[in-house]
Amino acid sequence: MSKWIEIATFNYPHEAHLAKSKLESEGIDVWLKDEYTAQVYHFHSNAIGGVKLCIEPKNKKAALMILYNSEIQLKAETKGNKYLLKFDSISSNLPFLKGKSLIIRLLAVVGIIFSLLIGTLFILDTPKNNYALEHNY
């Protein structure tokens, strides 16, 4: 059995079953983690993080697009716009960011862009000759 990854969480099992049914109808294997705990101890659902929708990593992009296109209500941290989903699919294949969470990958890319911008501005701001240094400009 391969390693499963969590792609969405739901407060109630019936919400997770809607997403599970949709993904299974598209041919994607799905496992619901903490489903029974949330059913028996429904008042603890938020404390345990809700019902987790887990799939195989190879199906992540397809599953997120299916859920997004079917307008299944996901929690804010798992629901994304098409640009964030595209960034997720591209950045998850970068060697130095592979296996990192989406927020870490996003911060790393923004940090790299910011560093390049500041470095460029610093280089452009340096004097081109020593004339300015000699005459206190």
Q: What are the tens digits of pLDDT across the range 47-101? A: 787 889 999 999 988 898 888 888 776 654 444 567 777 787 788 778 888 777 7
Q: What is the pLDDT of residue 104?
A: 85
Range of the domain at 88: 81-137
Q: Which residues, 6 or more positions from 127, have their beta carbon under 8 angstroms from its beta carbon?
A: 133
Q: Which of 56, 80, 104 is the last residue of a domain?
A: 80
Is residue 130 over pLDDT 70?
Answer: no
Question: Residue 59 maps to which CATH number?
Answer: 3.30.70
Q: Which of 43, 63, 80 is the last residue of a domain?
A: 80
| Residues 95 and 118 placed together within one structural domain of the fold | yes
Instruction: Report which of 38, 49, 41, 48 is spatially closest to residue 12, judged by C-alpha positions.
Output: 38
Q: What is the pLDDT of residue 73?
A: 60
Q: What is the pLDDT of residue 133?
A: 60
Is residue 115 over pLDDT 80?
Answer: yes
Angle, helices 60-69 vs 13-25, to 10°: value is 110
| Residues 14 and 71 placed together within one structural domain of the fold | yes
Phi, then psi, of 75 in degrees rounded to 5: -65, 160
Q: How many domains does the chain have?
A: 2
Buried b (16+ CB within 10 A) or exposed e, 37-51: bbeeeeeebeeeebb
* Whether the Cβ atoms of residue 86 and residue 40 lie closer than 8 Å to each other: no
| Residues 9 and 35 placed together within one structural domain of the fold | yes
| Residues 16 and 62 placed together within one structural domain of the fold | yes
| Residues 133 and 90 placed together within one structural domain of the fold | yes
| Residues 38 and 3 placed together within one structural domain of the fold | yes
Assigned token pair, 28: 């994607």
Assigned token pair, 118: 């500041």
Give tens-digit pLDDT for 14-27: 889 999 999 999 99
Helices (H), 8-125: 13-25, 35-40, 60-69, 82-91, 102-125
* Whether the Cβ atoms of residue 21 and residue 14 lie closer than 8 Å to each other: no
